Structure 1
Amino acid sequence: MRKEEELLVALRRVIRAVDLRSKQLSKHVGLTGPQLLVMQNIQERPGIMVREIADSINLSPATITNILDRLEARDLATRIRSTQDKRKVGVFLTERGKAAVVDAPRPLQEHFVERFSQLKEWEQSQMVATVQRIASMMDAEDIDASPFLELGSITEKNM
Structure 2
Amino acid sequence: MLDVILNDEKYNRCIEDIGELLQKTVRGFQMFEKEQIRIHGFTHSQCYILLEILKHGSLTINEISVKMKLEASTITRIMDNLVRDHLLMRQRSTFDKRIVEAILTEQGHAAAIRLEASIKMYYRNVIKNLPRGHVREIMSAVEALLGALEKAKIE
Counterpart mapping for 1:10-159 below 5 A: 10-82=21-93, 85-104=96-115, 105-106=118-119, 117-118=136-137, 127-128=145-146, 130-132=148-150, 136=152, 141=153
What is the Cα-based RMSD across aligned positions, in Å? 3.4
Cα deviations across residues 31-78 of structure 1 (Å, max 9, x unaligned)?
112211111121122332111222333333222212111111211111
Unaligned runs of 5+ in 2: 1-11
* 8 Å contact kept, 1:25–1:32: no
Structure 1 counterpart SS, 2:103: strand
Question: In the alignment, what sits opposite 2:9?
Answer: none
Larger radius of gyration: 2
* 8 Å contact kept, 1:39–1:93: yes
Cα deviations across residues 80-120 of structure 1 (Å, max 9, x unaligned)?
234674312121111211111111121677858x9674359
Question: Counterparts of 2:69 and 2:38 in 1: how far apart (Å)?
Answer: 25
Question: Counterparts of 2:89 and 2:96 in 1: how far apart (Å)?
Answer: 18
TM-score, normalisation: structure 2: 0.65
Question: Counterparts of 2:93 and 2:139 in 1: how far apart (Å)?
Answer: 47
Report the structure, 1 or 2, having the larger helix content.
Answer: 2
Pick closer, same or farther for the CA change 1:96–1:14 going to 2, 3 Å: same
Pick closer, same or farther for the CA change 1:14–1:119 going to 2, 3 Å: closer
Identity of aligned pairs, percent?
24
How many residues matched?
A: 133
